[in-house]
Structure 1
Amino acid sequence: MTASITLRSMIFLVVALTVSGLSAMAGQWVDGRVAHVRDVDTIEVSNLPVRLNGVDGPELDERGGQAAKRWMQKLILREPVKCWLTGDKTYDRWVGTCYTSSGADIGALAIQAGQARDCPRYSGGKYRQFETQESRRLPQHGYCR
């Protein structure tokens, strides 16, 4: 009986720590310099990976992927940014909306520049107004529909 209570307590503790760790980033601002650009929709802010919420960019091995990454590097690499994290996590990345030091939405800028698309499943269509003919030529991933 004691072993089972201890096991239950341990399981509860692990679950509580996991949930509190995930929710600790919910609704939180993170600011710092962009240390690395993985691709057009994933950046690292002070070594914290952030997936741009609602932005569908080409993967590095897809048409336009390398060019989109280079575009993002020119825009924000080593620049200060501020990201609002949703608390969601995908793979090793926190999900958030990031802004330049002047307050411009980085996802909107990428879409407007034809380097990415709106991902309506996650954006709710927030970025549709920024899509261009060029951005609509990029592949849209199934997870965005």
Structure 2
Amino acid sequence: MSLFRARPSAPPRPSDYPTKSWAVRRESVVVLTRPAAKPVPAHIIKGPCWVINGDTIVIDKVHIRLAGIDAPELDHPYGQKAKWALVQLCKGQTVTAHIKPELSYDRLVGQCFLPNCRDLAAELVKQGMALDWEKFSAGTYKHLETVDARKRLWRAAARQRGWMPPRTPG
């Protein structure tokens, strides 16, 4: 016996549906769908931010990695300077994050903007505190890199080339 019976004259009864799923009736054909495992986040998150490091911020308890760039970790050369450069950019500002579908170490990835439409990632690359990561940005910020940025941020550059293992989450 089938879970669903074709009854064009009567709508399906709630007892006809399997548990933890729902059905949508279209032209006498019942299509099963399942709810998403995780709720899909809003595409835009807006508010004051807290800076974690040179490429990660928190808005409303949501960790967001800046898309398309790589800044040094806090314990790497220039890591603290990259963090404080981002703090100075965001201080007292409302940041708008346009969330992308991918994740990075359980963080959302997003393009973040200040109220005057300046891109936070572009500003960090211009200051020489982050590098364009072509694998994820398709070269969007490459033209903004300073002449000596890859020499100064050699650990981030090595990580991009696969010479260093990625940091372990934790």
Short-chain TM bin: 0.7 to 0.9
Higher fraction of helix: 1
| Cα separation, 1, equivalents of 2:107 and 2:124 | 19
User: Contact (CA 8 Å) 1:115, 1:135: kept in 2 or not?
Assistant: yes
- Partner of residue 72, structure 1: 86
Cα displacement (A) at 1:144: 6.1
Deviates more, 1:43-52 or 1:97-106: 43-52
Please, which of 122, 142, 145 is the counterpart of residue 159 of structure 2?
142
Q: CA separation of 1:51/1:89 partners in 2, compared to 1, >3 Å: closer, same or farther? A: same
Deviations 1:49-93 (A, max 9, x none): 110111110001111001111111111034201111012112231
Give the share of equivalent positions with the same residue, in percent. 30
- Conserved 8 A contact 1:56-1:144: no
Q: What do you get for the CA RMSD once the two structures are aligned? A: 2.1
Match of 1:116 among 114, 130, 143: 130
* Structure 2 unmatched runs, 5+: 1-18, 21-33, 163-170
Q: Which has the higher contact order (CA 8 A, sep 6+)?
A: 1
Among 41, 63, 68, the residue aligned to 1:25: 41
Q: How many residues align?
A: 128
Identify which of 23, 34, 38 aligns with 2:52: 38
CA distance in 2, matches of 1:89, 1:109: 22
Instruction: Please say which structure displays the higher CA radius of gyration.
Output: 2
Q: Distance in 2 between matches of 1:141 and 1:77?
A: 31
SS in structure 2 at match of 1:136: helix
> What amino acid maps onto 2:41 in structure 1?
M
Relative to structure 1, the CA distance from residue 87 to residue 144 in structure 2 (aligned partners, 3 Å threshold; closer, same or farther) is farther
Tell whether 2:77 aligns with 1:63: yes
Rounded to whole Å, the distance in 1 between the matches of 2:111 and 2:158 is: 19
Cα separation, 1, equivalents of 2:97 and 2:58:
10
Q: Which runs of 4+ in 1 moved over 6 A?
A: none
Normalized against structure 1, the TM-score is what? 0.79
- Does structure 2 conserve the Cα–Cα contact (< 8 Å) formed by 1:39 and 1:60? yes
